[in-house]
Amino acid sequence: MSAERRSSPRINVTLTAHCRIGNRFIRDAVADLSEGGLYLKTREPAREGTPVRVALALPAEESPHYCTLVGNVARVDRDGRGILKGLGVSFSEAEMAQLDRAALKGFLSAC
């Protein structure tokens, strides 16, 4: 069993993400989210290190906050038969806009 490498806690969510993984565009579910990354439930094949852009509508009291989160595939998750279950995405704060980082932090702090 590998040691936990996350620096921020994950929050279970039920959100739909519009993603660009490499040069492909998909829409799939986000299972959990943190300031450092997310888990995308997808069968879209990708290798570790593949660039990812994720557009999300984060629920808020007054209206949704739309943000684009940028990072790379950090983990490819397969079941016991080798079938793809999802992708772990690690965010690159240097590539994300300050407003998007603030929207993410605000959403997570309200959860």
**Structural domains present in the chain:** 11-110 (2.40.10.220)
Listing DSSP states for 92-105 in one string gives -GGGS-HHHHHHHH
Give the tokens for residue 101: 């980082």
Contacts 24+ apart (CB under 8 A), 26-32: 30/54, 30/56, 31/86
Which contiguous run of DSSP H or E holds residue 108?
Answer: helix 98-110
Can you give the pLDDT of all 111 residues of the chain as single tens digits? 444 555 678 999 999 999 999 999 999 999 999 999 999 999 999 999 999 999 999 998 888 999 999 999 999 999 999 999 999 999 998 889 999 999 999 999 988
Cα–Cα distance for residue pair 36/71, rounded to 1 Å? 9
pTM here? 0.89
